[in-house]
Structure 1
Amino acid sequence: MQIGKQQIIDFLKSKGSNEQASQAESELPDQVDTDKDSGLLSKFGINPQDLIGKFSGGLGGLGG
């Protein structure tokens, strides 16, 4: 799934990870592929499935 860099930065900020958000801003491509870039996302403590659930309109809040 393709997700815009700004959405990921906002996601990090909403979790209180401002330092990671600023680092992600400089390192992530404009469009992040949750499959191809999963290693880069994990560097910022992001589970790609969390992003998919949040941005695909899925049931992201259930299981946690």
Structure 2
Amino acid sequence: MNIDKQQIIDLLKSQGKNDDADQARSELPDKVDSEQDSGLLAKFGIDPKDLLGKIPGLGGFGN
């Protein structure tokens, strides 16, 4: 599933992880593939399987 980098940054900020959000802004590609980039997401404490419920608009449809 492809996720816009800004959605991940917004998620990190909403969790109070501003330093991680700044780092994600510089390290993540514009479109993040939740499977291929799972290592990068894990670096920021994000489990790709949990993204569906945390990012508005993904809604479990498996974009």
Q: Same fold (TM over 0.5)?
A: yes
**Identity over aligned residues, as a percent?**
67
CA RMSD of aligned residues (A): 1.1
| Greater radius of gyration (CA) | 1
Q: Distance in 1 between matches of 2:6 and 2:28?
A: 10
Question: Structure 1 runs of 4+ off > 6 angstroms?
Answer: none
How many residues align? The count is 58
Which blocks of at least 5 consecutive residues in structure 2 are unaligned?
A: none
Write out aligned runs for 1:1-64 (5 A): 1-55=1-55, 56-58=58-60
Higher relative contact order (CA 8 A, sep 6+): 2
Q: Counterpart of 1:32 in 2: which secondary structure?
A: strand
Give the TM-score of the pair, scaled to structure 2: 0.85
- List runs of 5+ in structure 1 lacking aligned partners: 59-64
